[in-house]
Amino acid sequence: MNNLYFYLSKILAPLLNPTNFLFLALIILFIIYYKNKKKIIFKLLTITIFLLSIISFLPIGNFGLKYLEKDFLNKESYQNIDNIVVLSGSDYRLLASIKLGNKYKNTEIYYVGGNAYLIKSDMNDEINKAKKIYEELNFDMTRVKFVGQSRNTIENFKEIEKLNLNDSRTVLITSAYHMKRSIIIAKDFGLKLIPYVVDPKSNRQSSLINIYQDFNISRNLANFNLFFREIIGIIVFKLSS
């Protein structure tokens, strides 16, 4: 059942992306309306264009990301760290683990992840890429352990649970927008982890002029997709747990 859910989620992922879905709906509705000019199709076409315009021109995704990130942006003072757990993903996470590892010389780093693609290759394997970066930056590889071949966030925390780290102070590194979902899942597994976020996406500009200068439609769409994916992930996990 888990494998079936995984394969279905990966196959349907492009359609579950809200902007992909809306653009596809726009194309299909336009073709239908071109051949059969019914009022109901025109109304659906108008609604789709309106939704795309709202997502494109207003920073809805940015506000959503602020909601996801706001509780984790102020990093606490980290002391007496024993372990650093890194969720595979952006290079920012990996570089943050090296920065913390260099500061706290006695820590061990656990890089958790694998390959979420349906067709596997060394090019898209997160652990292989991480090993290469750690080695190129001359980090002490005896302090790094590469954990599991997990394919998603839930599988990541199943692997982390097996490490039995609750008796030590363990920092969790992931992207700021991803931390809320990660902590919710971690608590469900009974894991005690200290959040350490990297690469915040939400725009913290306060000036209207600065916000205007930073305006970018493609970023608005990307931020909305990130927010939507995280919220859906949280909802699905809570419903299934």
Across 108-129, average pLDDT: 74
- C-alpha 108/C-alpha 97 separation (Å) is 10
> Burial level of 2, CB count in 10 A (0-12/13-18/19+)?
exposed
pLDDT(217) > 80: yes
Residues 6 or more apart from 24 whose CB is under 8 A from it?
Answer: 15
Task: For residue 76, tell me if it sits in a domain.
Answer: no
- Token pair 């997709």 is found at 225
153 and 191 share a domain? yes
Domain membership flag for residue 208: no
Q: List residues bridging with 197 in a β-sheet.
A: 174
- Residue partners of 42: CB distance under 8 A and separation at least 6: 33
Tell whether 58 and 112 lie within a shared domain. Answer: no
Same structural domain for residues 90 and 190? Answer: yes
23 in a structural domain: yes
pLDDT digits (tens, 9 = 90+) for 121-137: 555 578 888 999 999 99
118, pLDDT greater than 70: no
Q: Are residues 9 and 90 in the same domain?
A: no
Q: Does 53 lie in the same domain as 87?
A: no
> Element (H or E) spanning 194, and its range?
strand 194-198
92 shares its domain with 194: yes
Burial of 56 (0-12, 13-18, 19+ CB in 10 A): middle
Taking the C-alpha atoms of residue 7 and residue 12, their distance in angstroms, rounded to an integer, is 9
In a domain, 182, yes or no: yes
Average pLDDT of the chain to the nearest whole number: 86
- Are residues 56 and 106 both part of a single domain? no
CA–CA dist 92, 197 (Å, integer): 9
pLDDT over 80 (residue 188): yes
Q: Does residue 189 register a pLDDT over 90?
A: yes
CATH value at residue 192? 3.40.50.620
The answer to the question of residue 77 being in a domain is no
What percent of the chain clears pLDDT 90, i.e. is strictly above it? 60
- The count of domains in the chain is 2
Q: Is 206 among the domain residues? A: no
Torsion angle of alpha carbons 69, 196, 239, 55, nearest 10°? 30
Residue position matching structure tokens 């609604």 = 47
Question: What confidence tier does 1 reach under pLDDT thresholds 50, 70, 90?
Answer: very low
Q: What is the pLDDT of residues 46-96, one digit of tens each?
A: 999 999 999 999 889 999 999 999 999 876 667 789 999 999 888 999 999
Cα–Cα distance for residue pair 16/20, rounded to 1 Å:
8
Same domain, 87 and 193: yes
Same domain, 40 and 92: no
Query: Residues 161-198, buried b or exposed e (16+ Cβ, 10 A)?
Result: eebebeeebbbbbbbbbbbbbbbebbeeeebebbbbbb
Residue 111 domain flag: yes
- Shared-domain flag, residues 227 and 150: no
Please check whether residues 100 and 171 belong to one and the same domain.
Answer: yes
Which domain, by its residues, includes 100? 83-198
Task: Answer whether residue 123 is part of any domain.
Answer: yes
Q: What per-residue confidence (pLDDT) applies to 132?
A: 92
3-state secondary structure of 80: coil
CB atoms within 10 A of CB 90: 14
- Looking at the fold, whether 126 and 92 belong to one and the same domain comes out as yes
**pLDDT score of 111:** 96
